[in-house]
Every structure is written in C-alpha cells, then in structure tokens.
Amino acid sequence: MLTLVEKILFALAVLVSLYYTWGGVKRIIHNIGSGQGKPNWQVVLKKAGGALFKFITFQPVFRFRLIPSLLHGMIGWGFLAFLLINLSDLIYAYTDWRMLDNTGLFGELYRLLADVVNVLILVGMAAMAIRRFLFRPATLSTRDTTLLDPKARLGISRDSAIVAGFILLHNSARLLGESFHLAAHAHTDSWQPFISAVSTLWLGMNPGLLEAGEHLMFWLSVGAVVAFLPYFPYSKHLHLFFAPINFALKPERPSMGALDYVNLEDESIEQFGAAKVSDLGYEQIIDSYACIMCFRCQEVCPAYNTGKILSPAALEINKRYNFNAGGGTDKPLLELIPEEAVWACTSCGACVDVCPVGNEPMRDILSIRRNLAMMESAFPKQLETAFKGMERNANPWNVNPADRLKWASGLNVPTIEKNPEPDLLWWVGCAPSTDARAQKTAQAFAKILNAAGVNFAVLGRSEQCTGDSARRAGREDIFFGLATANVELLNEVAPKRIVTTCPHCLHTIKNEYPAFGGNYEVIHHTQLINELVGSGKLQLDAEPASLTFHDPCYLGRHNSVYEAPRLALQSAGANLTEMPHHEAQSFCCGAGGAQMWKEEEPGTARVNQTRYAEAKASGAETLAVGCPFCLTMLTDASKAEENGLPVKDVAEIVAERIK
C-alpha cells in the first residue's frame, strides 16, 4: 500500500522512535535494578498464569466505580485486540496483503472484531475524557493539603489529555482509512458495519483522493503509535505493560500484610527499613511504574477519608514523578511523603486490596516507619509506653506477667502445665488478658469452650505479646525478641491447633512466625464457634436480635475470614444488617498499625467515630465485633454519645445464648 519512499521514511521513523524509547526503558531498568532483592523466578513462573488472567480480564478493576471500569475495559480489551490489528495493518502497508480481505470465516470474524473494537475504544475513550475534563470528579485528584509533586497536579491531567488524544487520533484515523479503502472499491461490507456506514460518505469521490486519504490515515494511525512510543515510558499508560509484570514479580507471601523477615542476629546489616527509594524492594519501585494514578487507594484509605494528610496514591505518584524528572533512587522518601502521613497509616490493607495493578503503598509506609524507629529513634512519643511495656513485661499495657491470668479467676481455664496435651491451645492475647473491657470477651469464650467440652489449655503467665504493634510501629528489634521467644515456647508445647480471639495475634502467629521456624494451624474464635455449633457440641438458644458486624481489617482483608463471624452470629439468632462498607470493603476501626497506642494525626474526623457512625446509621440495635482493638475503639466512640449503640464481641453474644 505504501510507496517505496513512504516505506523508507516510515522505517526511519520507527528506528528514531525506538532509539528514544530505549533511553526511557534503560532508565526504568536501572531504577528497578537499584531496589533491594531480586525476583524468585520459580515463584514468577508459578504466578504467571494468574497474572495473565488478571491482565486479560481486568478483574481487579471491577471492584467498584462500575461505569468507569466498564469504559476502561472497553479501552483495555480493545488495546489488546489492536496489538494484532496494528500488526496486520503494518503488514498490509509493506506487502499489500490484507487480512481484512480474507473471505473465509476467520477473515470475516477478524473484520467484525476490528470494526467493533475500534468503535468501542473511541466511545470508551471519549466518555473517559468527558468524565475527567468536564465532570472532573474529586476522586481523580487529591486535596491541597496532600504532598503531591507540583508537576503531578498538572501533569496527570496533561498526561491523560495526551493519551486520550493519541488514542482518539489513532483509532479515528484507522476507521477513516478503512472507509476510504471500501469507498475506493465501491462496495460496503456487512462484517464491517461501522466502517461501511462511514464509507458511504465517500462513494463517488475521486479514486486518487481516496487512495491519498488511505495513505494519510495510515500515517496518522500507525504513525501516531510510532510518535507515542518515546513518551510511553514517561506516561501513566505504562501501566498496561507493568500491571501484569507487577502481579507476576510480587514475592509470594502468606498474607498481603505479612512483613518480610529481618534477621537481627546478622551483624552485617547496617540499614533497617527504607530511608531513600533504593532502600525499597525492587517490587516497590515497580509499583510506581505500574500505578495508573486512579486514586482508588486514596478513596478507600481511612486516614485520607478522615481528613489526614496521608494519601497512598500520592506516595506512588511522587515516586513516579521523581523518576520522570530525572531523579534517581537516592531520593529521600520523606521528601515524597511527610512524616506525619507515615504515622497516620492504620495498616488496614485497603489500599493494597483495592489496587487494580497490585501496588502495595502500605508496605512502603511500614518500611519507612522501620527506618525512622530503628535508625533515627523518631516515632510518636505516645508509643514509648507501649514499647517499654513490651520490652519490660512482654505486653504493651505493661502489666506484670504474674497478673496475666487474673481475668480467669473463678473460671475453669487450665494452663498448659495442668493440661500438657490439649486438643486446642488458646492464645488469649494481651488485650483479653489485661484490658478490663476485652477481658469480658475472654471470659465469654472460656464459657463457650467449657460448655462445648473442649479439651483446651492456655499458656498463662508464659504467654507474651506477639509483637504485632511493635512491628507495625517499626520496632523490629522488639518484635524479633518476642517472636523468637514465642516460637521457642510454642515449638516446645507443640500445639495441635491454636485459637485466638485477636485477629492481630492470629495474623502474626499464622503468617509471620513461620519465618522464625514456627508453623502452626491457627484459627479465629468465630471459626471455632462455627465448628462447635456444626458438630452439635455447642447448643444455642437462637434469640432474634438486630445486629450489624464490623469486619476487623486483620481478620477480613489480611486473612480473608468473612463468613465465620456472620455464621456464628446467625447461629445465635442474629438478623444481620450489613453496613455499606463491609467484608473486603470494610472501614477500619482506627487501631491497627500501632494506632491503638497513640493519638490520631490531625484531621476532620476520628476514624473510630466515622466507622461507628456508619454502624449507627445501619439501624441495627447492637454492633458486633471480632477483635479486641475494634472493641475498644468502637466502644469509645459509642460512649461519646448518649444512649450509644452497644458494642459486643461475637463471643459475648454467643455466650449469652448458650442453653
């Protein structure tokens, strides 16, 4: 189709484009390579299939924002189809062989696909452009108080305009070029309905003009791709390439919130946590290139939604704009996210869970905390009490270990010394052992275990804090000491199963202790309650009650336990009303990430009060929880108003209904 001169010019244009594109690609490779660690290729191969499935189906995109997600799907699926279509057009331009002219079924289906997909891309892109530039929803940006690279505030819109303009030009030119070709041959094609409709506009036009138009549209269509390539490494459009890579190259973890093992006995370690970008893992640097800049993570962040200056989206975008501006990986991370924002994170995992391209901004934040706490001794002063308690008495309440079993006075709660071979080891946890309100949960669960005739035991004064709060606050040294001692004790006890009423204990023992040599079957108390009810060992009077259930972050998102607490409540007769934010979309209580031991950063509202207000609005008469931290936070919120909603643990509700 192209003349010899055009072929030569186009080939030269491609070479020039690839030369400048390679410059951007080299910078990306260098930046990623400067990160810590390297991929485990066995894991990559294992995850490749799943990564490809997510990429092809765009399944993570459809979590919410349904209409924009559908529009994005139209564009994305069309883009995948156009990889073949553009190749076909290029072959035609150089050889005059047209896949479109194939008269068999394959050719007919190909022509239909190319025509329909082209229009879907145009419609989807036009709608997305109207949404961004005319409707301008607040969810596509961030507040002025958020630290966002000044270049990004304008740059994101400019980048969107460039991408939209490129796609609209590319696809419009292709449609017109094909319509000129059909008109030049004085016919329409039922397998190309949209192109045929346009081609009728040109019937009777001078054949020379139609041929010239076809050539011009090729240059505008495929030429737009060539012109766009050097910009591609700097565009957010790069997520199309890096999203599947990000899914495949992520290290394999037992839970999205499980932190990496740090061997504090290795004296050669000089750096703890991340002070600059190069201290992050290679996969955390990939996050910045995979980021689609959709601000979905910000939209679900409890800190951002209560007016704090934290935006997980801004962190990833700032990393990317630092790279785009020529900045390297020696950039201090506290120039990309304020220290106040670092300590506002509740480690709820909502940002990780919702990201359509697999980014993990929460992990960056916890890495920065580790550096601040371990290397700079810079952390909120309110945390000192909890740290000292864990160091001196192995619990953040700083209660003497000798008093750890006082809550069980008058109850049948055997220790491991009295019952050395139990079927079930109950890891009570610090809160139920020491906090007056949470002790009621422990007492209720003891009543349940005894009523069901369970052969169980507790560690008593030998039990220590799991170290969850210390680790999320950056004090890896405290966590390391507690984890090492706990694993040594548990391996000596060799429990058949462990049950805990605290999701933070469950998460740490189940997902983080294996790195210390502790591999155990760990379940939540609501899971055990279901087993006992299902086996007939626990008989309940199902009294009707109006309840709503708050999903704890470390039970739900971090460990995917959603059904068990609901079934346990229903077995006790509960009529459940779900809050708008429930299960994987649950809103945090505000205590995770060591927030339990410090004051919230300034904002427009408190996280616990925001969540409590949602529970109150549900119309339920009681708010059920499955975590002692959630119990404390939501009880405090309830006490702030007259006639507040009763807040109870699932175990308390079930224990009240034992026959």
Please tell me the distance from the alpha carbon of residue 142 to that of residue 493, in angstroms, as a whole number: 51
Which residues lie across from 549 on neighbouring strands? 624
Give the pLDDT confidence score for residue 446 in this predicted structure: 98
**Residue position matching structure tokens 């020491």:** 434
DSSP string, 171-230: HHHHHHHHHHHHHHTT---TTSHHHHHHHTTTTTS-HHHHHHHHHHHHHHHHHHHHHHGG
Q: Please check the confidence at residue 327 and state whether its pLDDT lies above 90.
A: yes
Going by C-beta distance under 8 Å and a sequence separation of 6 or more, which residues neighbour residue 606? 306, 590, 600, 637
Which residues lie across from 575 on neighbouring strands? 546
Please report, as a single letter, which amino acid is at residue 399. V
Give the pLDDT confidence score for residue 12 in this predicted structure: 97
CATH topology of domain 260-375: Fumarate Reductase Iron-sulfur Protein; Chain B, domain 2 (1.10.1060)
Average pLDDT, the chain: 96
Which token pair is 200?
């009728």
Nearest to 559 by CA among 479, 503, 608, 618: 503
> What pLDDT, in 10s, does the model give residues 535-587?
999 999 988 999 999 999 999 999 999 999 999 999 999 999 999 999 999 99
Which token pair is 217?
């549209």
Tell me the CB-side half-sphere exposure of residue 211, using CA atoms within 13 A: 6
> What pLDDT, in 10s, does the model give residues 221-245?
999 999 999 999 999 999 999 999 9
Percent of the chain with pLDDT over 70: 100
CATH topology of domain 540-655: Rossmann fold (3.40.50)
Q: Please check the confidence at residue 103 and state whether its pLDDT lies above 80.
A: no
Which residues lie across from 249 on neighbouring strands? none
Give the pLDDT confidence score for residue 1 in this predicted structure: 86
- The arithmetic mean of pLDDT across residues 195-201, rounded, is 95
Give the pLDDT confidence score for residue 543 in this predicted structure: 86
**Residue position matching structure tokens 């108080």:** 145
C-alpha separations of 129 from 74, 251, 461 in Å: 14, 36, 63
Domain regions of the chain by residue span: 4-140+148-248, 260-375, 383-531, 540-655
Give the pLDDT confidence score for residue 102 in this predicted structure: 75
Q: Which CATH code fits 383-531?
A: 3.40.50
> What pLDDT, in 10s, does the model give residues 363-417?
999 999 999 999 999 999 999 999 999 999 999 999 999 999 999 999 999 999 9
Q: Which helix (H) or strand (E) holds 514?
A: none
Asked if the domains at 260-375 and 383-531 fall in one CATH topology, the answer is: no
- The arithmetic mean of pLDDT across residues 269-273, rounded, is 93
